A = this chain, B = another copy of it.
């Protein structure tokens, strides 16, 4: 195969949720296109890479000085929802379930991948608690070992009295058939059963 095409396929294949097969299809579609899709995508990417940065307050990716969530005066202070990345913010915003403030970590602590607290946006949670009068921290992190480890670590760094911590409930998803649910979820759902 042509070396330039091969290199491009390899770069696409490294993106999340894209394997070599999908990357091959993507690259061929882009290079066969005669309407300038490749240039337009490349330029949009360069433009975003130049202007987009994490909000210095909460970590949400933005091209403004302060992101749209931190600068929105209609949102309530008091509740801080800690998430892994911007896609979690988007999911929560779409649901309309939360109208407080966000804090984006930019990843999870991971021994395997060598991600330590200093790689994540953890340090300024403490200063936000005081400045923004946070009284509840809601962890909306992935329900995984890494998510729980990260959550425990963050709790251990905070010694503000009168602050409450919560995490999203674990259990059987809506419409979930017990046949299709893994043992871990079932154990959590059983342990967290509610009296009727």
Seen from chain A, the residues whose Cβ lies within 8 Å of a Cβ on chain B are 1-2, 4-5, 7-8, 11-12, 14-18, 21-22, 24-32, 37-49, 51-52, 54, 61-64, 67-68, 85-87, 90, 93, 106-107
In the complex, which of the residues B2, B39, B49, B93 contacts A31, with contact meaning CB atoms closer than 8 Å?
B49
In the complex, which of the residues B2, B31, B45, B51 contacts A42, with contact meaning CB atoms closer than 8 Å?
B45
In the complex, which of the residues B28, B41, B67, B87 contacts A12, with contact meaning CB atoms closer than 8 Å?
B41
- Complex CA gap A171/B64 in Å reads 58
In the complex, which of the residues B18, B24, B43, B86 contacts A90, with contact meaning CB atoms closer than 8 Å?
B24
B28 and A61 contacting across the interface, CB-CB below 8 Å:
yes
B38 and A48 contacting across the interface, CB-CB below 8 Å:
yes
B26 and A61 contacting across the interface, CB-CB below 8 Å:
no
Q: Decide yes or no: A16 and B40 within 8 Å by CB, A45-B8, A51-B4, A90-B24 being known contacts.
A: no
Q: Can you list 16 pairs linking A and B with CB atoms under 8 Å apart?
A: A2-B64, A4-B48, A4-B63, A11-B44, A16-B29, A18-B26, A25-B87, A27-B48, A30-B48, A31-B48, A31-B49, A31-B61, A32-B54, A38-B48, A42-B43, A42-B46
A5 and B48 contacting across the interface, CB-CB below 8 Å:
yes
B5 and A61 contacting across the interface, CB-CB below 8 Å:
yes
Query: B residues within 8 A CB of A85?
Result: 28, 32
A87 and B38 contacting across the interface, CB-CB below 8 Å:
no
Query: B residues within 8 A CB of A28?
Result: 61, 85-87
- Complex CA gap A40/B10 in Å reads 12
In the complex, which of the residues B11, B17, B93 contacts A41, with contact meaning CB atoms closer than 8 Å?
B11
